[in-house]
Amino acid sequence: MTDTKPFTREDMARAPMKLLRDGRVANAVVTRVEVGGRFWTVKDFSSRPWWVRTFIAPFLLKRELAILDRLRGVEGVSQESFRIDRTAMAVLFMEGANIGREPARVTPLYLESFEKLLRTMHARGVVHLDVRGTGNVMIRPDGSPGLIDFQASLYTGWMPEFLRRLLEDFDMSGALKKWLQFQPDAMGEERRRELERINGLRKFWIFRGYFGLKKH
């Protein structure tokens, strides 16, 4: 997290703003806000019911900011984030597009770099758990991968090894799925077998539909 707040809610109220996602009742309203010539992604629960503002929002915001702090220095993850107030947080906006909109740019080199990004996160004790779809997987202007939206992420440092490895496999299956989707001829048999193995494990995951592990 940043040591100081780049802006307040009052600053945000006067700033140019674009709605990115309204979400459901227990999810934040997500906007892009421009302050001082810089763009930020803001997650804001202030318009949600009192029980969301009181119990859910503080927990989700604190956890996501802690995850981002653990990933400080990881290339491909936004490096600036902060708590605006009890019901809102901001993350420096990541330029680029999700890979579903730029399929021609999803090269074997990109996918190898995406795998490396996931392994680097796992080494920090973080699993994203929402990368099987394309919405959170970015291709940045320089062609490198990026990840956004860590709300479903978990810290694995306290977990037994079998559970940590299982969750890391679920994450990696998101990269392998993208090989199959965008570069099947370059995927190779080893990656295909690994994807089949992990997909077999997912059938027994009792929290299907949660933590980003729903079927896309």
Using DSSP's 3-state secondary structure scheme, residue 104 falls into helix
**pLDDT tens per residue, range 13-22:** 999 999 999 9
What is the reported pLDDT for 24? Answer: 86
Residue spans of beta strands (DSSP E) within 86-213: 88-92, 97-98, 126-127, 137-139, 145-147, 154-155
pLDDT band (50, 70, 90) for residue 4: confident
Token readout for 62 is 């604190």
What is the reported pLDDT for 144? Answer: 98
- Whether 51 shows a pLDDT value over 60: the answer reads yes
Backbone φ, ψ for residue 141 (5° rounding) = -55, -30
What is the reported pLDDT for 201? Answer: 86
Contacts of 155 (CB under 8 A, 6+ apart): 66, 67, 70, 125, 126
pLDDT band (50, 70, 90) for residue 207: low
**What is the Cα–Cα distance from 205 to 187, expressed in whole angstroms?**
26
What is the reported pLDDT for 44? Answer: 98
**Full-model pTM:** 0.91
Once rounded to an integer, what is the mean pLDDT over residues 36-60? 97
Other C-beta atoms closer than 10 Å to the C-beta of 197 total 12
Average pLDDT over the chain reads 93
Token readout for 159 is 């977990």
Residue spans of beta strands (DSSP E) within the chain: 17-21, 29-35, 38-44, 81-85, 88-92, 97-98, 126-127, 137-139, 145-147, 154-155
**Residue length, the chain?**
216
pLDDT band (50, 70, 90) for residue 216: very low
Q: Minimal CA–CA distance to 112: which of 78, 79, 136, 76?
A: 76
**pLDDT tens per residue, range 114-137:** 999 999 999 999 999 999 999 999
Once rounded to an integer, what is the mean pLDDT over residues 71-100? 97
